[in-house]
Structure 1
Amino acid sequence: MGAPSSKNRGGPATPVIAPYRSAVQPAVGYAETMLQDTGFERAVTLELRRDDPLLDGLRPNRPEDARYAVHDLLGEGGMGEVRSCTDLHIGREVAMKAMRPMQLSRPDLRARFLREARIQGQLEHPAIVPVYDLAFAEEGALYFTMRRVRGLTLELLVERLREGDPRTVAEYPLRKLLSAFSRVCLAIHFAHTKGVVHRDLKPANVMLGDFGEVYVLDWGVAKLLANEAPPISQQTADLAISKLDFTDVASAKTASGAIIGTPGYMAPEQILGQSGEVNGQTDVFALGAILFELLTFESLFGNGETPEILARTLRGEDRSASARRPDSAIPDAIDAVCMRATSPYPEKRYASAREFSEAIEDFLSGDLDLERRQALARTHAISARELAGRALAPEGTPEDRQGALREVGRSLALDPDDPEALALLVRLVTAPPSALPAEVVDEVHTLEARRADRASRRGSLLFALGALLFVFPTALLMGVRNPTSVALNVVLWGLAPAALFVSRRLPVWVAPTITYAAVASSSLIFGPFISVPAIAAVVTVAFVLSGRRSHRFLASGLALLSLVLPLALELLGVLPRTFVLEKDRFVILLNAVETPSLTTILLLSASHVATVLFVANYVAESKDALDRAEIQNRLQAWQLRQLVPAEAQGALKSHGRTPPSERARAAPRAPICRPKHLP
């Protein structure tokens, strides 16, 4: 082929190549051609013409039929060079790949070049560059023309991604690369269905076009499928590592049994020179090596010396992309796909390049759904953060907190592993609200009402027992001195249980008032200093712990009144005095009943014992309830910590909050008395 053209305006004319075109009639002998075509330079010998039957389909054209104007050099290699050209007949830009004239004397190179042109020309697929013409140049170089493609090779693309080029990183996310790679797999499968194995797949031979196209380049070492050879054994592979001569791999010939391909992308069966075993799964291995490079931006078997690369290939070591790049968060699913494709044993690889493509598409389908869910989760998380900012502020409303919890819940439902959303959930759950939501207030009121009802029924029972065991026996056994006082005491102690039992149907003040009136009436029997303070204290504790919130101040006030009012009435002379203070004595005057010594001692002692037992039992039950609530809170906190990964714990620290786990570790440990009701 001619030298590069000069593009200077006003310079010499652009070199033009007059090709030998494909013949439509049987080729004539080389001697006749030479006699008839005086413009053909004698660089191609008669021996070349006769030795290569593939050239029989070509015949010379007249010099005046010059067709191609040669332009810039696009690339070159051992077989020749590729230049951009203009097809003067059609007026389009094409690429021309030409052999050097000195290589025409080698039948093996000649056959390889012609085979590449014809194989590439017969594989009509969008991802395989079409061949337009196959001919001789005037100076004797063999060439073929093909579509002029533009884009980036995967080799250059991976290099830019490895360097972190911002534009390339933004333009080629993993999803886009895998989608293009899947189309490459389908193109290779198409070639396999036509009986062709590429044998030299590598990033430099795959191009991504500017408009979404993919191209598989350089079919120079492609081979027609042959009968399969016996499978490789590990013993054969180990033997090959020590026996093979790796010194001339780059110049290996395409003869049967010779090593051909690029180290690092060659399958073990290629390295072992078992041409009968080279089939579609050989290309699958090379595709897997390319996929590994797309995932890690590193070569599968490194960039060392050729013998070392080939030995690692035969051993099949270090094929996990995620293990090679643990910091890159490579999905396990695509890592497994890559490892299967690069298995050193053909039977363990994908059965075809189409199956390989389907595995990629399956991953992309799931990954697309994951990306959509993560994108939607991020939208909800952003909304949750905005609402949480308002909810956690002093002026935050229950509606803000409700909205924040709803949004963070939706975010975690779509992406359960989002550490920021988990951290936000922990903050919302652990930070107390400035105001209780209306629903919570209603639930608390309902709970208080139920607890008050239970306490009222229980109080009714206890007052009834007190009346039966102490008040009524006092009137019957001790003898009555003041019937009015005794009758008032008995009536009030009889009304108190009834009032407590029906307290839900009465105004809130009725039952407590009757109850404390009964307590106060006991001072008519034994005075304001015996039994009455203890009974008032017990009743007040019961009302405060078990009654409604509205009962607390009412109960405390009535308790004080039940102690002070009888004393005041006695001091004012309204009621008869029940005590006398002397110099060295405090005398209790029992004006309402007789005072048989034994009966009085027994009744007073029994009332005091009952008071102590009641208080102990009531406080124990309250403590058990508190313990149960504490254990439930601890359990809930522990369960919440299991939801929060280390990243979320870190996020909590960044917000100035101590994670629950650290608070638990920092807190002093004390034995917890488990209530007997708990399992």
Structure 2
Amino acid sequence: MADDEGHTIQEPSGKRAVLSKALTGERYRLGPTIASGGMGEVIEAEDVQVGRHVAIKRMLAKDPTDRAVARFIREAQIQGRLDHPSIVPVHEIGRDNDGRPFFAMKRLSGASLEDILASSALVARYSQQRLLRAFADVCLAVELAHTRGIVHRDLKPANIMLGDFGEVYVIDWGVAKLVGVTDDDSGDSNDDTKTLSGASIGTPGFMPPEQIRDASAVDARADIYALGCLLFEILAGVPLHPRGRSGLNSALAGADARPSKRALHRNIPLELDEVCVAATAIHAEDRRITAREIGERVQQFLDGDRDLERRAAVAREHLDVAREALAKLDNARAARSMSMNEMRLSASDIGTQVATEAARIEEEARATAMREAGRALALDPKLNDAANIISRLMLEPTRSLPRDVEAQIVAEAEESDRRHARITLFIVFAYIGFIPYLALARPWPYATVFGVVLALQLVMLRQESRSPRFRAPLAIIRNAVLIAILAHAFSPFLLGPALAALTTTALMFSRAFASRRAAIALVIAMAAAVLLPYVAEVVHLLPSSMELQPHGIFFYTNDVQSSVPVRIGGLVVFCVALIFAGAALAWRMLRAERASRNQLYVQAWQLKQLVS
């Protein structure tokens, strides 16, 4: 058949289509251009006969070839024969006053899926559930095309439109293919999609491997692959394959299509993970899922009909892994016990190495068993074996602290040391309060020597913070010297024991004295700081400050110039300060113990809720 101007169009199906001559100046009032590509342009227009806004797509070339016209008309006819709410209806096919082919279709308003996924503002407006509902509608539209023998070949976010009033549309059928009909599009890249030149038709990142190799030989399974890529991007927030030509290599090589593995921070359900994997299989024959089935499974998820049987199966898989890890844990413990026995019997380094390796395996197996059992219980709360594994591991003490726990303990200990350093600095400044009182004593060098030693304490405290290895020795030296001076100035058995006991208690809270050797060294040093001045007085190296008599003990503090009120006031201040310091240390220890106990109670309660 021929049109009014003698043009005939051979449709791929073999039928002849006639173009009616419609003068756009008579029926359509043209507006601004909406979009323009290599082959055609889309113009906003008003249909004056019906009184509605439409979009007109017409060819750009003023003298197009018959082949280009055939492709253009084929696009319009394919889109027009797909009568579905999610496919833009075609109102008319014709030629404008310049003889260029065009077709009029519904005017769309809204945003493309590509714009929505790329904009944080639009993502906030379009929830994931809303996007999944739109995707389910897209699947049904594609299923209709497949039942009519049509393959879109370029499904991607840019070709999915979401209207302002809940509409969803699949657009741009320009490279669609009729299954079973010879395709002559492979050598022409003048279309308005981001289509690669040569034999590839489609968009990298959404094309299956068979479409990359030969776009003319694809069938409906090519669209299934693109739907899987679309679903992956909606769920993960990132594309399955890179954009551009690198996406071709990624598709050919294959990629992990589970969005839950790409977006760990998102709560992606297992059933949708499986849909993505099934739809994006590398080999077309392995894609045994239809567009309708994809949409139905997404809709089932939205309706809350979870695949409980599949979740239970996955839970059992996690439980099997937990059991294997538990067996490995028992074997590692047995090997560690044997190596420890060998070490006791012989001083061999081999036993040490075996014990160290067994401890590492034991720690990894314990963590794996706990993690996998927890996942199994989360998937199937009625899985008693998983709950039993968790209960055993929680109640069974470990032979050594896990490395992560040790690291956390070290970090908390370092923070405790910093707090302890601040307290120690406060104590050093508190010692300054003795200087005025010592200034009244005779001989006069006491106050001078004491002040010089205090200044040295500040220097040693700074060095102590820079060199953790010398923290304990430096702390012992600086405190022992201060106590020794005060012990002689006020008699060794008058003030010295109280100061030594309080200082020892404060220092024992530091991580530097966690070892037995450091703790013993501290006790010996504090005792020596009190007793050595007394020994020096006994052998007459220092003037005597104490005298034992049958009717009492007399203390001489060498304070010959201060008055009685000053002496009494000094003793009162010392007693009050000593009591306050002891109470502060005890209160700090009680508060830390109470916080730790409360944390343990909360953890025990949470565990009880988990396994009950």
The normalised TM-score by structure 1 is 0.42
Query: Whose radius of gyration is greater, 1 or 2?
Result: 1
The normalised TM-score by structure 2 is 0.47
